[in-house]
Amino acid sequence: AQKITQTQPGMFVQEKEAVTLDCTYDTSDQSYGLFWYKQPSSGEMIFLIYQGSYDEQNATEGRYSLNFQKARKSANLVISASQLGDSAMYFCAMREGGNQGGKLIFGQGTELSVKP
């Protein structure tokens, strides 16, 4: 069965520094999708970045980049130049089924705190 693991329950980072949030996954599918979401205290899920299993280049979206290492089955999120507003829960997720529209399964989450 597919599984997503986030081993960092909490992380601290100084404002303006970069931080890496870890995510490893396990799947037997050849085609899959990996997502990162931000969840502030309000509870909404904010999409950050997506990486397809066949994408050769690491995804980037503004200050967010995804360090995709397929052989190691890891999809770490890198946030550059952290801001106070980045303090939130961060979830890694994988689309199951290897096709468009499969259900998303989520990791345990990492609570990021940005210090001024």
Which of the stretches 11-19, 20-28, 41-49, 67-75 binds another protein when contact is defined by CB under 8 A? 41-49
The residue written with tokens 């990492």 in the block is 110
Of the pair 81, 91, the CB lying nearest another protein is at 91
Rg of the chain taking only CA atoms, in angstroms: 14
Integer Cα distance of 27 and 30 in angstroms: 8
Question: Half-sphere exposure of 16 toward its Cβ, with a 13 Å CA cutoff?
Answer: 1
Of the pair 36, 114, the CB lying nearest another protein is at 36
Of the pair 30, 100, the CB lying nearest another protein is at 100
Answer yes or no whether residue 108 interacts with another protein by CB under 8 A.
yes
Answer yes or no whether residue 100 interacts with another protein by CB under 8 A.
yes
Question: Residue 20 corresponds to which tokens in the numbers above?
Answer: 């890496």
Question: Residue 58 corresponds to which tokens in the numbers above?
Answer: 């690491």
Residues that bind another protein (CB under 8 A): 33, 35, 42-45, 47, 50, 89, 91, 95, 100-101, 103-109, 111
